[in-house]
Amino acid sequence: MNYLIHPQDLVFRAKSRIEGFVQMIKDEEIPQWDLLQTSLEIVEEWSSDWDEDQGFGSSDGTYLLKDFIDTVIGDYTNGKYKTDFIPSLSVIKL
C-alpha cells in the first residue's frame, strides 16, 4: 500500500512537533508499540480513503496527525486529555 505518510513518521511528528504529546505518553505509560499500531491503523484508513488525484498538503497532514492523537487519547487516557489549536495543534490535560 502507498501511504500518505509512513506510520513511523506520524509518531515521530507527534513526538517532535506537538506540545504536550510526549508528556502525555510518558504520564500514561503508553508503549511505543501501541503508538505504532495506532498510527498504522490511522494511516491505512486515510490512505485507502484518499483520492489519488487529490493533493495532500500540510493542513491535511495536520488533521491526519490530530486524528492519530485523538485516537491515542480515546484509546489510552480515559478522557484525561484533548487536542486543541492554541495557536497550533497541542495536547492539553483536562
pTM of the model: 0.94
Domain ranges of the chain: 7-93
Summarize the confidence of residues 72-79 as an average pLDDT: 96
Helix axes 58-76 and 32-49, enclosed angle (nearest 10): 130
Q: Please write down the long-range contacts of 29-38, taking CB distance under 8 Å and 24 or more positions apart.
A: 30/72, 30/76, 34/75, 34/76, 35/11, 35/72, 36/7, 36/8, 36/11, 38/68, 38/71, 38/72, 38/75
pLDDT in tens, 15-73: 999 999 999 999 999 999 999 999 999 999 999 989 877 888 999 999 999 999 999 99
Work out the end-to-end distance of the chain between its first and last CA atoms, rounded to an integer number of angstroms: 37
